[in-house]
Amino acid sequence: MGARSRQAENTGFACVHCTAPVPANTDGHYRNHCPFCLWSLHVDELPGDRASECRQPMEPIGLVEKSGKGWQVVHRCTACGHRQPNRLVRDGESPDDLDLVLGLPWL
């Protein structure tokens, strides 16, 4: 996937769970979850591919730590059960709510 398509996918959106307006990420990575409630949307089969046809809400269910990526929020699709870890947004406009992140269990 080239830089042009990555830029096209890194856009703001309205949260599927809390409806808050979520700005695009400014740290060079995709923003794929809401910084205010941590919910996501099942749009990927593999990170960044936007290939999922499910398109249902994904609940934040816990935290994992991955080498080279640090802490990640694990999301589970409310429809099909697909699980996906997602990198935390720590910098830029609207970083993830650290109190919510720390309230998640370690998986």
- Checking if the pLDDT of 5 tops 60, the result is no
- Is residue 107 domain-resident? no
pTM, to two decimals: 0.85
Residues with Cβ within 8 Å of 101's Cβ and at least 6 positions away in sequence, in order, are: 38, 63, 71, 73, 88
Structural domain boundaries enclosing 90: 3-102
What distances in angstroms separate CA 106 from CA 47, 70, 74, 88, 101, one per listed residue? Answer: 21, 13, 10, 14, 10
Predicted local confidence at residue 85, as pLDDT: 93
Predicted local confidence at residue 49, as pLDDT: 82
- Is residue 47 domain-resident? yes
- Is residue 39 domain-resident? yes
The total number of structural domains in the chain stands at 1
- Provide the percentage of residues in the chain whose pLDDT is more than 90: 59
- Is residue 56 domain-resident? yes
